[in-house]
Amino acid sequence: MPETPLELLKRVFGYDSFRGEQAAIIDHLVAGRDALVLMPTGGGKSLCYQLPALLREGTGIVISPLIALMQDQVDALRQLGVRAARLDSSLEAREALDTERALAAGALDLVYVSPERFLTERFMDRIDALPIALFAIDEAHCVSQWGHDFRPEYRQLDVLHQRWPRVPRIALTATADAPTRAEIAERLALDEARWFVSSFDRPNIRYRVEQKANGKKQLLDFLAMRAGQSGIVYCLSRRKVEDTAEFLVGHGVSALPYHAGMATAARAENQRRFIREEGIVMCATIAFGMGIDKPDVRFVAHVDLPKSIEGYYQETGRAGRDGDPAEAWMCWGMGDVATLSQMIEAGEADESRKRLERHKLNVLLGYAETIRCRRQTLLASFGETYPDPCGNCDNCLEPPPTWDGTQAARKALSCVWRCGQRFGAGHLIDVLRGTRTEKVLQHGHDTLSTFGIGAELEAIAWRGVFRQLVTAGLLDIDHTRFGALRLTEAARPLLRGEGHLTLRRDAPAARRRGRSERG
Ligand code: ADP
Ligand code: ZN
């Protein structure tokens, strides 16, 4: 009697049961069919091709873009007694030759190979003559031009279908957004494949978002309660990484920097320490993370805004892979939005790509500013419905104070209009509050009908109003005019006197108002 998948799971891997859709995926592949697997990081994707490769005749070929990842997987499999090997550019010629011989002799259950290596005629010729159990395409989102992991070689992997139409294929990714999913299916000629879509919820991660007032102090406060825990602090730039790491070390935190501009050896050493030692806080750009399997990362902090909600999800997903409680904390301010928008505008992408990037930033801002459950908002952006508020995010735990901002929004929008859509929030607030600054006088803005109509709110509260008008898409930032605020089409109804706007009451302003309301 041949071994069942479950028996094999127990015997080789030592696990008692399958997780989520693993069993269904494995059966599907063993039956010789194609699969597209969308599962969050830590969900257990590897077993989905490792087991069928062992159950089917021949060798399983795994195409993987990351050498470090291949190495880890092959080492782990060998320890379990699985005959696994890898072929990539880091191997000595001799080692590579040995592996190729073993492959030809049918002495390997699984071979991990980089896409470059796979696509050589030499390699493809070799495996033409061999029984192949399956092809697994790991990190399949690398086929997408829009993602930051784009690997041009992945585009040529439709050769699998053309040259070996009878060999089942499985493409796997933890990337959740719908356009990328569709692109994977199309580019890899997986139109017949069955889709296995897992929930992307990470229930043990608690999401928290804060407004930036004094970012460094807020980070220290956050870390103070987490002494001795391992975590990642994501920063936007290399310089910010260096600054933050230095600042934290100066305050007694075991922080290390990591970014692509560092010498390879220093970077590798910091990564090694983060994985081996306890309680290291890694200050890093997004260059850090992909393929790093450290189960007990207790928190991921964003001290700058990520570029998209997919990026945010991937980065925060590195917390709590062991299933224990973990925290995703983000601290952001309007300055971050300006920086990111500027990066988009100054970038070399064509207009359609820029439009997409602006859209992605807006989706992220919607998440940052939402007064709904964060988890519901996050999963909804991936097309997933999460039925009830989660009870494990800041908005669920401490519902944010809100207020009816309809009147304030109207005043702010008309002030933008009266000032000719040529000024930033600082000046507009001076006009609204009736402050006679030199700039106000110079432009004659003290004679506008909107001058002084907003004295009832403090400047900081007005900041919150403008910020939320931007994140709600009623205003946008004009980068050709040093960040001037402009009305969008969506602002019209409110200006006409229709509609309502509920705004989040920012914490500092809320406290102050709370006192005066009571007193
Ligand atoms: P992914 O590639 O989706 O990020 P992995 O395949 O690396 O996830 O699996 C994540 C962790 O979960 C690994 O430590 C793996 O051994 C473990 N795991 C996977 N499937 C099971 C299972 N059925 N039972 C117990 N542990 C599992
Ligand atoms: Zn919630």
* pLDDT tens-digit series, residues 248-276: 999 999 999 999 999 999 999 999 999 99
Ligand nearest to the CA of 376: 2
* Per-residue model confidence (pLDDT) at position 93: 87
Its pTM stands at: 0.73
Distance between CA atoms of residues 406 and 400, nearest Å = 18
Distance between CA atoms of residues 466 and 335, nearest Å = 13
Q: Whose CA is nearest to atom 20 of ligand 1?
A: 44
Ligand nearest to the CA of 207: 2
**Using 50, 70 and 90 to split pLDDT, how confident is the model at 518?**
very low
Ligand nearest to the CA of 16: 1
Closest to 140 in 3D by CA, of 178, 175, 167 = 175
Residues across the chain? 519
Percent of the chain with pLDDT over 70: 96
* pLDDT tens-digit series, residues 76-112: 999 999 999 999 888 888 989 999 999 999 999 999 9
Side chain identity at 62, as an amino acid letter? V
Distance between CA atoms of residues 176 and 197, nearest Å = 9
CA of 15 to the centre of ligand 1 (A): 10
Ligand 1 neighbours by CB, cut-off 6 Å: 15, 18-19, 22, 39, 41-47
* Per-residue model confidence (pLDDT) at position 515: 35
* pLDDT tens-digit series, residues 293-317: 788 999 999 999 998 898 899 899 9
* pLDDT tens-digit series, residues 382-407: 878 888 999 999 999 999 999 999 99
* Per-residue model confidence (pLDDT) at position 176: 67
* Per-residue model confidence (pLDDT) at position 353: 82
Closest to 41 in 3D by CA, of 436, 316, 336, 427 = 316
* pLDDT tens-digit series, residues 150-196: 899 999 999 999 999 999 999 999 876 777 888 999 999 998 999 99
| Pair type for strands 502-504 and 402-404 | antiparallel
Determine the atom of ligand 1 nearest the C-alpha atom of 293.
7
3-state secondary structure of 85: strand
Q: Which of the listed residues 10, 15, 16, 48 should we mutate to test ligand 1's pocket, taking the one with most ligand atoms within 8 A of CB?
A: 15
CB contact at 8 A, 207 and 316: yes
Average pLDDT over residues 132-147: 91
**Mean confidence (pLDDT) of the chain:** 91
* Per-residue model confidence (pLDDT) at position 509: 37
CA of 208 to the centre of ligand 2 (A): 10
Percent of the chain with pLDDT over 90: 70
